[in-house]
Structure 1
Amino acid sequence: MGMNLSDIHPDLPSGIIEIQEGYMKSITIDGTNCYLSGRFDILSKLDDGTFAIIDFKITTPDSEKISKYISQLHAYKFALENPSSGKPIKVSKMGIVSINPDEMKLVDGKVIFTTTPKYHPVEEDTESFHNLIREISTLLNGDLPAVSKTCSLCIYRSKF
């Protein structure tokens, strides 16, 4: 905490890290009975007074893998801007820092690795995020499919 984001990677926006591993919970999302809760990696207050939410992933930094995390960052943004309690904050930047070990060594019983972090900014797409949440809400609130003797989940559920 207290470190500038741009010290982690020069492409990250300039701002001081205020919270590491923070928890959040949102209000109910309009048109659904869903709310969002979870834990984010870093929240940083930017020079303009808004905030950046940054998530760290230990993965190879290819665009297919990175794209899978976009809705997660939008969920953090929604929850921080629409909290179930406390003061809302404006999130103006979202991004992922991918870390893929370049080299690993075992030193005195500890694994030490070196890496070059890569920053992947995430563009805001609120409409797609809300569409996803509405689809999830519809699925969760819909009827269960008919039980099938060949469905392993159905067989498992029938035991309880």
Structure 2
Amino acid sequence: MTKIFNFSPSEFAFGYAGCKRCYYDQKVNNIKVSLPFPSVFSKLDILQKNFYHDKSSDLLGGKIASGVIKTDYSRTQKSKILQDNKGRKFQLKGRIDAYVKHKDSFSIIDFKVTDIDEKKIDTYATQLLAYAIMFDQPDEGFLKLNPIIDLGIFCFEPDTMVDHQNAPNFKMKTQFYLIERDDKRMFEFITTVIDLLEGKSPTSKEKCSICKVRGII
């Protein structure tokens, strides 16, 4: 039976971009060391989605065409089975934060609670590019968005704390970064990832805390 590689778009920024040894062991040897994910981020995610749902995309800073932000698509999306540049099969599965419904097109947006820095474009580009492919080439029975004209990350950075009726309230700085859609780049990236997974176990990233816990560096 032909192997099908399964990828979640978020694993590229939070897995592959980190320690290649940890990523390889997780994908190939099913070895995973999970670190606690603060529940406050899940709460922020819900608040962000509730706040922006059905609002104008002009709130994102005017860098994409006007439209309506939709944050209520909570189903895990799945692409059809695709092939990398070497003919190896793979499938993308994951959830998006939001998409924008324009008059005759769509954009996909990801919310990030993070420091505002233009370098975030490079960090999260593959995640957004994967989302575009998932919705442009969905598996049967899944939502299709076409054409997808823009991709972007909307960053939230805590700025100041203000008094509101004797209670502390955070104020957030926000910044939208546009990511150019480039399917060719994404398929080249997937090919590189599968090359890694079909090769020998890579060396650990220097100072990888998880590899230290595992005792392999």
TM-score category by the smaller chain? 0.7 to 0.9
Aligned residues: 151
The amino acid across from 2:107 in the alignment is: A
Report if the CA contact (8 A) 2:78-2:91 is conserved: yes
Cα distance in 2, alignment partners of residues 21 and 41 from structure 1: 8
TM-score (normalised: structure 1): 0.78
Shift of 1:84: 1.3
Q: Which has the higher helix share?
A: 2
Cα distance change of structure 1 residues 117 and 142 upon mapping to structure 2, 3 Å threshold: same
The correspondence for 2:190, drawn from 112, 128, 133, is 133
Q: 1:105 to 1:50 in 2, by over 3 A?
A: same
Contact 2:121 2:179 in 1 (8 A): no
Structure 1 residue 111, shift from structure 2 partner = 6.1
Normalising by structure 2, report the TM-score. Answer: 0.59
Runs of 4+ in structure 1 deviating by more than 6 angstroms, as ranges, are none
The separation in 2 between residues aligned to 1:70 and 1:111, in whole angstroms, is 35
The higher-RCO structure (CA 8 Å, 6+ apart) is 2
Q: 1:18 corresponds to which residue?
A: 70
Instruction: In structure 2, give the amino acid aligned to 1:84.
Output: D
1:131 Cα deviation after fit = 0.6
d(CA) in 2 for partners of 1:5 and 1:54?
10
Q: Percent identity, aligned pairs only?
A: 28
> Mind listing any 5+ residue stretches in structure 2 that lack a counterpart?
1-52, 203-209
RMSD between aligned residues: 2.9
Greater share of residues in strand: 1
Q: Distance in 2 between matches of 1:138 and 1:42?
A: 31
Give the equivalent residue in structure 2 for 1:148: none
- Runs of at least 5 residues in structure 1 that lack an aligned partner in the other structure: 146-151
C-alpha displacement of 1:9: 2.7
